[in-house]
Amino acid sequence: MTDISEKTVISEKTVTHPAPHRTHAVLNQSVPRTDVNEFMLDTVLAEGVARHDADWATGELTDIGELVGSAGFQHDAELANTVIPELKTFDRWGNRIDEVEYHPSYHRIISAAVAHGAHTSAWENPKPGANVARAAAFMLFSQVEPGHACPISMTHAVIPSLELQPDVAALWTPRALSRSYTPELDAPGKASAIFGMSMTEKQGGSDVRANTTIAKPAGRGGPGADYLLTGHKWFCSAPMSDAFLVLAQAEGAAGEGLSCFLLPRILPDGTRNVFRIQRLKNKLGNKSNASSEIELDGTVGTMIGEPGRGVRTIIEMVSQTRLDCILGSTAGMRQSVAEAVWHARHRSAFGAVLADQPAMTSVLADLALESEAATITALRLARAQDNDADEQEKAFRRLATAVAKYWICKRGPHHSYEALECLGGNGYTEDFPLARRYREQPVMAVWEGSGNVIALDVLRAMTREPDSVAAFDLEVNLARGNNPVLDQHLDRVRRQLGELATLAPADAQLRARTVVEAMALALQASLMVRYSPAASSEAFIAARLGEDRGHEYGTLPVGTDFAGILARA
């Protein structure tokens, strides 16, 4: 009998197939990095959680780490970014619905994040370490799928602004605190809510005071009253959120000027508010998260806070989302390091495993140090947000959050690129997650204030809140006396801050970026000295502040404890 697996009879002739060619065997490729616990593997994150009074959350964070490290969650992350949101302006019968359709994977991801409190757990159960636990959860989810983090962040950030209008907060805060997620806007009995925000307009951008959207009172006017809004918003992220905070120019006897309004998608009577999605933005990254332009035309919104005080009202939300930009960039750095180290430990070239070759070892260790410094800084800032913060902590976080947002978010894109390069050609393909991460990282630097906006905000804080400068100086100098290079840098920062205060406004703007960068490195180096092993902090300081510091990753000094640094990665 003929073995048909080896021979085939064609027109009464027997043809013998050749054995499979050996090039079809997959050799020297890394195994899939799946079914790992992202929390348990992240030594720096776990240490920070324990250090900042959030060790009570270790159990849930371990569960999250297992979830986001699973093959299923990673596949959902890929699907959410390849089957991207689609705008449905009308239904099949011609009714205007203004809905965005997402792949089910996106809803599974955001539902899991809400269930684990990555949105509002710190408000739900305020206590020492609450914001640290929430930050860690947020970073773990964002490490694998960052797009969904935008509405998660805005839902967290809206609470302080809502509290400025107690009657409105009584209706909406319980919905924001809910651990359930229902994607349908008009689902019967829906008791949860996801929030968004929309400030910028095409003629103003970051200059929100140039907004032209008009709000006319529907009745008496004033705080807590309904207005009818008409205008165009250039960027509205996550348009399928249940409610938004928006800015508009209030008119009427109850008060005028740029004011803040809560705009629901569904009105109390169950009808749809006017919320015309004009188009979805075709973004560089952040593909799973729909961003849109919207038209308001007699749209109902409730005034939050005082008339003419809209920026002051919504800035409470902005300050929270700025911290989440830091968390998001930091989560991206962790993903980049984890993927790069994994690849290098499973692939050989020129007779040795990549991770054991000195040039690659130096790059990986440098990337790991950047990630460690960002993580330590992010968690320190999160701890300063807890409700037991004293006045000095509040002053510190006011300035330090802006400083860290500027620097960490700017470091994100180049960090992800260098990690991508560690994977070679694989890193450049969309089949591996670092191509997606490379496109994602710039959004954190742009969102809630790009570089110049943040640097100018630091200048304003120094002028208006001098206590924040003193609090920042006290924090960074806690590490003085441990490293002479750091001590010299701390002296330099003090001189720079003193000189900045004497400059004319135009000259101060020209110096702002230089000073903010120096402040950020002082903060990171100080925290590394206090919280990281000496080998890590000394290498970080030498590479970032030393005379021989390089401008690229992989320039750590000879004698660095590469193995010890990478063991923490």
| DSSP character string of 446-491 | HTT--HHHHHHHHHHHHHH-HHHHHHHHHHHGGGTTS-HHHHHHHH
**Per-residue pLDDT averaged across 206-215, rounded?**
90
* Mean per-residue pLDDT of the chain: 94
Q: What is the pLDDT of residue 11?
A: 45
Q: What is the pLDDT of residue 205?
A: 83
**Per-residue pLDDT averaged across 43-47, rounded?**
98
Question: From CA 300, how far away is CA 228, in angstroms rounded?
Answer: 5
DSSP-derived 3-state class of residue 556? coil
pLDDT of 300 higher than 80: yes
pLDDT in tens, 265-298: 999 999 999 999 999 999 999 999 999 999 999 9
Q: What are phi and psi of 304, to 5 degrees?
A: -110, 125
pLDDT in tens, 415-474: 999 999 999 999 999 999 999 999 999 999 999 889 999 999 999 999 999 999 999 999
pLDDT in tens, 337-346: 999 999 999 9
pLDDT in tens, 92-107: 999 999 999 999 999 9
Share of the chain above pLDDT 90, in %: 89
What's the pLDDT band for 27 if we cut at 50, 70, 90? confident
What's the pLDDT band for 5 if we cut at 50, 70, 90? very low
Mention every residue, 6+ apart, whose C-beta is less than 8 A from residue 259.
215, 247, 248, 249, 250, 303, 305, 306, 307, 308, 309, 310, 313
Higher pLDDT, 448 or 12: 448
State the sign of the Cα–Cα–Cα–Cα dihedral 74, 130, 311, 409.
Answer: negative
Q: What is the pLDDT of residue 17?
A: 58
**Apex 484 CA angle, 483 and 485, nearest 5:** 95
pLDDT in tens, 507-541: 999 999 999 999 999 999 999 999 999 999 999 99
Stated pTM of the model: 0.94
Count helices and strands in the chain by DSSP H and E runs: 19, 13
Q: What is the pLDDT of residue 494?
A: 97
Please identify which residue in the block is written with the tokens 């609090």: 471
**Per-residue pLDDT averaged across 161-183, rounded?**
97
Task: Provide the token pair at 294.
Answer: 């919207």
Q: What is the pLDDT of residue 9?
A: 42
pLDDT of 6 higher than 60: no
Task: Provide the token pair at 248.
Answer: 């508009």
Q: DSSP class of residue 6?
A: T
